[in-house]
């Protein structure tokens, strides 16, 4: 309740900060959606005794702009209602922020989402926001992060300074949820290395610049590790996983080069915590064939490799993995897109297949079909926990 009250007070404060006399532009937009998942295999763990799962989500966005566009406020709440997993039924404020733009700097204050990264199948350098893992297992859905962000625009690049007052714990599927480990994660028992716990103030600085065909980024982050260690503990005779959030220093670098039809991508990090320090990297390319058979359609071929210095000791699913995929964009009025990719773990000989397709209908509707399929035989492989969670998902979205 304390966090929700703080967010509500912040929202009220931002809205009342709107000038009463100045000309103000207001816009409301957003989307509502319905997801239906069909699991093709019986559940692997107790409590998951269902084959279909229905959920509904709403994500409206309220936007105010004044001072000739130099000041703006954005409020984006999010709500999901899930049929089976009570932990997946949740609310969040994805964004609640004020942005002021000047000639060579911007100040962004409130709850925001910041994305860093260039690779397709894993975003190693993306460190600011916490993962909302009950949304999907791919780690691309994020919780809003409290921040004060000063962005300085210079001839030699953009420098972003971040002060992050407060930490968001990762969400995990409940006992009834699928795509989880055999033991349930008890988020109520979360532990921290820092005595300030979730109130630790994190900091980060990032430089980004474009030089010819090259987009570069480098940063240093100091604060609470967004990736918790999951420790087995006894809870009244039941074994559970308890998240433990260490402090860390992390440096990261990302590079993207656009050369003719080639898109070269590279990300690397070095993470230093009290328990370990290591390097990890993700690199690859995308080559696009434009105007297939003299049509408007393009096909891109993707290849990436993910490496973690810790090897089989890594607590990350990607430690020695090869990714191959293809992306088709029809470039039609309905924005029809398709992506298919397969990953192969070179250590554990496991595979996963993803298929994503989407198409707009009219001005307000979008339909997506996603498939996730897994194959794993080694119990030491993290993907072994979801080897029976193959599923298809139909998503219908209504934009307004």
The greatest distance separating any two alpha carbons of the chain, rounded to the nearest whole angstrom, comes to 67
| Pairwise CA distance, residues 184 & 86, whole Å | 13
Task: Find tokens 């566009």 and name the residue.
Answer: 69
Domains of the chain: 2-399 (2.40.160.10)
The partner residues of 324 in beta bridges, in order of sequence, read 303, 342
Question: What's the pTM value of the predicted model, to 2 decimals?
Answer: 0.92
The confidence score (pLDDT) of residue 15 equals 55
Phi, psi dihedrals of residue 4, rounded to the nearest 5°: -65, -40
The confidence score (pLDDT) of residue 2 equals 47
| Pairwise CA distance, residues 387 & 173, whole Å | 16
Average pLDDT over residues 150-174: 98
Please, where are the H alpha helices in 299-364?
none
Predicted confidence (pLDDT) at residue 250 exceeds the cutoff of 90: yes
Average pLDDT over residues 153-162: 98
What percent of the chain is modeled with pLDDT above 90? 93
Exposed (0-12), middle (13-18) or buried (19+): which is 110, by Cβ within 10 Å? buried
Predicted confidence (pLDDT) at residue 9 exceeds the cutoff of 50: no
Apex 108 CA angle, 107 and 112, nearest 5: 165
Count of CB atoms within 10 A of residue 114's CB? 18
Which of 182, 164, 79, 82 shows the shortest CA–CA distance to 127? 164
Pairing of β 191-192 and β 238-245:
parallel
**What is the Cα gyration radius of the chain?**
22
Predicted confidence (pLDDT) at residue 14 exceeds the cutoff of 70: no
Q: What is the pLDDT of residues 265-297, one digit of tens each?
A: 999 999 999 999 999 999 999 999 999 999 999
| Pairwise CA distance, residues 339 & 302, whole Å | 10
Apex 193 CA angle, 188 and 198, nearest 5: 50
pLDDT confidence bin for 23, thresholds 50/70/90: confident
| Pairwise CA distance, residues 28 & 18, whole Å | 16
Pairing of β 238-245 and β 229-235:
antiparallel
Predicted confidence (pLDDT) at residue 12 exceeds the cutoff of 60: no
pLDDT confidence bin for 11, thresholds 50/70/90: low
Predicted confidence (pLDDT) at residue 113 exceeds the cutoff of 90: yes
Q: What is the pLDDT of residues 44-61, one digit of tens each?
A: 999 999 999 999 999 999
């Amino acid at each position: 309740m304390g966090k929700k009250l703080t967010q509500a007070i912040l929202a009220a404060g931002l809205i009342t900060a709107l000038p009463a006399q100045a000309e103000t532009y207001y816009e409301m937009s957003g989307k509502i959606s319905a997801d239906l998942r069909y699991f093709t295999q019986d559940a692997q763990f107790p409590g998951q005794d269902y084959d279909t799962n229905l959920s509904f989500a709403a994500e409206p966005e309220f936007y105010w702009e004044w001072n000739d566009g130099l000041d703006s406020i954005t409020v984006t709440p999010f709500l999901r209602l899930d049929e089976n997993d009570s932990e997946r039924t949740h609310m969040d404020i994805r964004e609640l922020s004020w942005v002021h733009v000047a000639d060579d700097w911007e100040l962004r204050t409130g709850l925001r989402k910041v994305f860093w990264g260039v690779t397709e199948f894993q975003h190693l350098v993306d460190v600011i926001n916490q993962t909302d893992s009950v949304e999907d297992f791919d780690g691309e859905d994020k919780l809003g992060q409290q921040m004060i962000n000063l962005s300085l625009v210079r001839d030699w690049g953009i420098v972003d300074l971040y002060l992050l007052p407060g930490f968001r714990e990762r969400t995990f599927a409940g006992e009834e949820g699928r795509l989880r480990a055999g033991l349930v994660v008890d988020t109520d028992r979360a532990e921290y290395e820092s005595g300030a716990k979730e109130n630790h103030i994190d900091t980060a600085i990032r430089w980004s610049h474009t030089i010819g065909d090259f987009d570069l980024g480098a940063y240093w982050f100091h604060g609470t590790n967004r990736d918790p260690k999951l420790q087995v503990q006894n809870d009244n005779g039941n074994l559970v996983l308890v998240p433990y959030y260490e402090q860390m220093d992390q440096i990261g670098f990302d590079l993207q080069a656009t050369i003719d039809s080639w898109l070269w991508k590279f990300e690397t990090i070095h993470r230093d915590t009290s328990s370990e320090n290591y390097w990890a990297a993700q690199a690859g390319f995308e080559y696009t064939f434009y105007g297939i058979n003299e049509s408007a359609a393009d096909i891109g071929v993707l290849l990436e490799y993910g490496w973690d210095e810790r090897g089989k000791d890594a607590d990350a699913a990607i430690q020695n993995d090869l990714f191959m995929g293809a992306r088709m964009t029809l470039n039609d009025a309905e924005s029809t897109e398709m992506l298919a990719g397969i990953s192969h773990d070179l250590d554990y000989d496991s595979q996963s297949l993803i298929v994503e397709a989407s198409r707009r209908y009219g001005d307000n509707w979008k339909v997506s079909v996603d498939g996730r399929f897994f194959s794993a035989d080694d119990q030491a492989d993290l993907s072994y926990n979801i080897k029976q969670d193959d599923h298809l998902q139909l998503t219908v979205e209504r934009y307004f």
